[in-house]
Amino acid sequence: MKNIAVILSGSGVFDGSEIYESVLTFLRLEHNGVRYQCFAPNVEQLHVINHLTGEVAEGETRNVLVEAARLARGNVKDLAEANPDEFDAMIIPGGFGAAKNLSDFAIKGHECSINPDLERFARAIHQAGKPVGLICIAPAMTPKLLGTGIECTIGNDAGVAEAITAMGGQHTDCSVDQIVIDETSKVITTPAYMLAGSITEAASGINRLVDEVVKRA
């Protein structure tokens, strides 16, 4: 049975993994009859956002791995312990945690760096010729995460697309229900909530992405 690694960045759209995108990914993986294992880095979040007000919760700290456990119903492991040889593919759901906790793209833009445990794992998956799926804002990490020249999408946000290009990536505009596939690199991306106005719209692209990742695994 195919085994897919899902990398989480916390829990909650504004400071962790986007919950709908994550759950849609889990659901579609199960529909495809494959196994998956969630991982998250054991690090402190950049900050905690009050999702009711959208403001930073001053003085509050949370751990990315502990928060991801909420989303994964406790079944999540430390990314530092992930063995790429045990997996056939990797998917990273979106949410600002990808740009705040898995990387510092939210702060440094095209000069960002990637969490070292994620970089180690993702590079090994990629260099072994295994497919990688990136959702929502997560594709912004592509050039630093996997290498330059890879075609990807975050939808049609000009500022983020410009940053991807500045890092050596190749951005292609894409509608919410579609995916962009870099055939050579086996990298599949979709905009999801970069464009989605509803969970149904988000699912339309995520389902295609998961199906494509599983097919190529």
Token pair 């998961």 in the structure block, residue: 210
Burial state string for 68-79 with b = 16 or more CB within 10 A and e = fewer than 16: bbbbbeeebbeb
pLDDT for residue 17: 98
pLDDT for residue 30: 98
Give the model confidence (pLDDT) of 108-165 as tens digits. Answer: 999 999 999 999 999 999 999 999 999 999 999 999 999 999 999 999 999 999 999 9
Nearest to 96 by CA among 15, 33, 27, 209: 15
Catalytic residues: 136
pLDDT for residue 36: 98
Cβ atoms of residues 177 and 184 within 8 Å: no
What is the distance between the alpha carbons of residues 31 and 208, in angstroms, rounded to a whole number?
Answer: 12
Kindly report the average pLDDT of the chain as a whole number: 98
Q: Percentage of the chain with pLDDT > 70?
A: 100
pLDDT for residue 145: 97
pLDDT for residue 120: 98
